[in-house]
A and B are shown apart, each in its own frame.
Chain A
Amino acid sequence: MATSMTEAPTAAAHPVDLLSKFDPIIQTRETLLAAGVEDPFNLVMEQVLSPTRAICNGRDTILLGTYNYMGMTFDPDVIAAGKQAMEEFGAGTTGSRVLNGTFRDHRDVETALREFYDMDHAMVFSTGYQANLGIISTLAGKGDYIILDIDSHASIWDGCAMGNAEVVPFKHNDVDALEKRLKRIPEGAGKLVVLEGVYSMMGDVAPLKEMVRVCKENGAMVLVDEAHSMGFIGEHGRGVAEEQGVLDDVDFIIGTFSKSVGTVGGFCVSNHPKFEVMRLVCRPYVFTAALPPAVMASSATSIRKLMHGSNKRQHLWENSRTLHKGLRDLGFELGTETPQSAIIAVIMPDLEKGAMMWEALLKEGLYVNLARPPATPAGMTLLRCSLCAEHTAEQVQTILGMFERAGKAIGII
C-alpha cells in the first residue's frame, strides 16, 4: 500500500526536478542546523588514535559508536598482514572475483571463514550490504516467498527489492506472526525466512531457537544475518544461532568484516552442497571488483585471532553490562531491559532533543551514533552506543559521567 508522500508542484514546459521529492528532508536538516547543532551526519575524524579514541572535529573523543567490537582495527598482526600483502600483491585487484580478482588471500580468507564457522562453503563479497543484496535476491526468485522481520536492516530490504520474490514481513521478533504467515504460503512455493541474530538499532537478540524450529517445521530455508554477533556471542563466537543451539539448522549465515573483524567486506557461509553455484549466478558478486589484497590478508589474520579471543569477549560483556546498568541508574530509557549484545540504544524523546544530546556528548568528548527514522523502528530517535573490548573500565566510567552531565544539561534526565 502506498504511504503518504509530499508531491512537488510542477509547472508546464519546465522539466520536473527529480530532487524536489527530497525537499522535506532538506527542510528537516536545515531546521536542525539553524538551531546551531553540529551536523550529526558530517563528522570528520582527523586522526584515529586507537580503536576507542580519535580526534573528531578537532576534539579528543572516546569512540562509542563504531561497531569495532573486538578492537581489531589496530591489532599489530592484522596491520602487518595487510602491509605485507599490499607490498607483494599491489594496492588493488582491478577485477571481479570470477575473472582476474581472486588472489591468494581471497582464497585464504574464505578458508579462514570455513574454519571459524566449521562450515563447508564461504563466499566473500565486497561489503556486508552486497552480501545480503546478492544472496537474498539470487536465492528467492519469481514465485518464491521471502518472509522477513519488519525491523530488518536496509541491505535485507534492498535484497528483497532487487529480486522478484513475493515479500511478506512479520512483526519484530514475533514467533507466532512468523508461523502464521509460513502456514498461509501456497503449497509447493519456495520459502526463504530472513532473520538477524542481533538487531542493530535496539541491540536486542532474536528468539532464533523457536523461529528456526518453526521455519523447519514449515519447510522454509533460513538465512540469519549475524553481523552484530560475530566474535563474541556463542561458544566459538559464531553468533546468536550458535548460542541458542540452532546453527546446524540455519541454511545461510551472512556476516561482515566491518564490525568485529575490523576491516571491510561481507560474506555468506553455508553447508548447502550446491552453494558454490552462487559464485556464477549472484550478480552483486560477479559484477563488482574484488576487495584489495591487503584487506583480505588483514581479514584472514583477524578472523583467525578472533577464534582465540575469549578474554577479550569477557571484557566486552563486562563493558556492556556496566554501561547498561549505569545508564539505567542515571534514568535513561534504554532499548532493552537487559544488556543482550554490545549495542546499547538510548531512546531520545524526539529528533530535536536527540540531536542536542548528541552534540552535548560530542562536546564532552564522546561519539555515539544518532539514529533516526527511517533507519529506526517505530519512528524513534536513538543514541546508539556500541562497545569495544578495548574500552577500559575507566573509560566506561568516564562515558557514564559524560552522559550524566549532557543528559542533565539537555533536560533528558
Chain B
Amino acid sequence: MTPAEVDDRIRNLVEPFNKKGIAIEDATTFAGDFEFDSLTVMDFVAAIEDEFDIIISMNQQAEIENWGQLVAAVHKLQDS
C-alpha cells in the first residue's frame, strides 16, 4: 500500500471522530486541532488497528502528534 492509499483509508476512518470538520493537512495535530481526548484517541486508534491489522502501542502513539506522522507510522507498520 502506498502512503497515499494509507492516507485515504485513515481519512475515511477519522470522519466520525472529526466532529468539527477540521480540514486535514500533514501538520494537523490530534491534540491541538482535532482536540481529541484520551477516549477518542483510543477509539480512533482501535479503528485504525482493525482496518490495517496492526498494533500501535501507546509507546508508539506518544511519538505521533500530527496527521503526517500518523500516516507515516501506519504505512511503516502495515508494511512490516
- Which positions in A face B, CB cutoff 8 Å? 1-5, 145, 150, 160, 166-171, 177, 180-181, 184-185, 374, 378-379
Contacts and interface: CB of A to CB of B under 8 A. Distances in A.
Nearest to A145: B57
B7 interface: no
A379 B59 contact: no
Contacts of A166: 55, 57-60
A155 B1 CA distance: 40
Contacts of B37: 3-4, 379
Given A1-B70, A166-B60, A181-B49, 15 more contacts: A1-B31, A1-B45, A1-B64, A2-B31, A2-B62, A3-B31, A3-B36, A3-B37, A3-B41, A4-B37, A160-B58, A166-B58, A168-B58, A379-B37, A379-B39
Contacts of B36: 1, 3-4
B57 A167 contact: yes
A168 B55 contact: yes
B8 interface: no
B42 interface: yes
A169 B55 contact: no
Contacts of A167: 57-59
A90 B51 CA distance: 61
Given A1-B61, A2-B62, A171 B32 contact: no
B72 interface: no
Given A1-B36, A166-B59, A379-B39, A184 B65 contact: no
A145 to B, nearest CB: 7
Given A184-B53, A184-B54, A1 B41 contact: yes
Given A1-B64, A3-B41, A171 B46 contact: yes
Contacts of A170: 46
Nearest to B50: A180
Contacts of A185: 55
Contacts of A150: 42
Contacts of B61: 1
A2 B65 contact: yes
B58 A5 contact: no
B35 interface: yes
Contacts of A145: 57
Contact of A184 (B32, B45, B55, B64): B55
B57 to A, nearest CB: 4
Interface string B23-57: 00000011110011111011001100110011101
21 contacts: A1-B30, A1-B61, A1-B62, A1-B65, A2-B29, A2-B30, A2-B65, A3-B30, A3-B38, A5-B31, A166-B60, A167-B57, A168-B58, A170-B46, A177-B46, A184-B53, A184-B54, A185-B55, A374-B38, A379-B37, A379-B39
A150 B45 CA distance: 13
A194 B29 CA distance: 31
A169 B36 CA distance: 17
Contacts of B32: 4
A150 B31 CA distance: 19
By Cβ-Cβ distance, the 9 closest A-B pairs, closest first, are: A166-B57, A167-B58, A4-B31, A2-B31, A1-B61, A184-B55, A1-B41, A1-B30, A3-B38
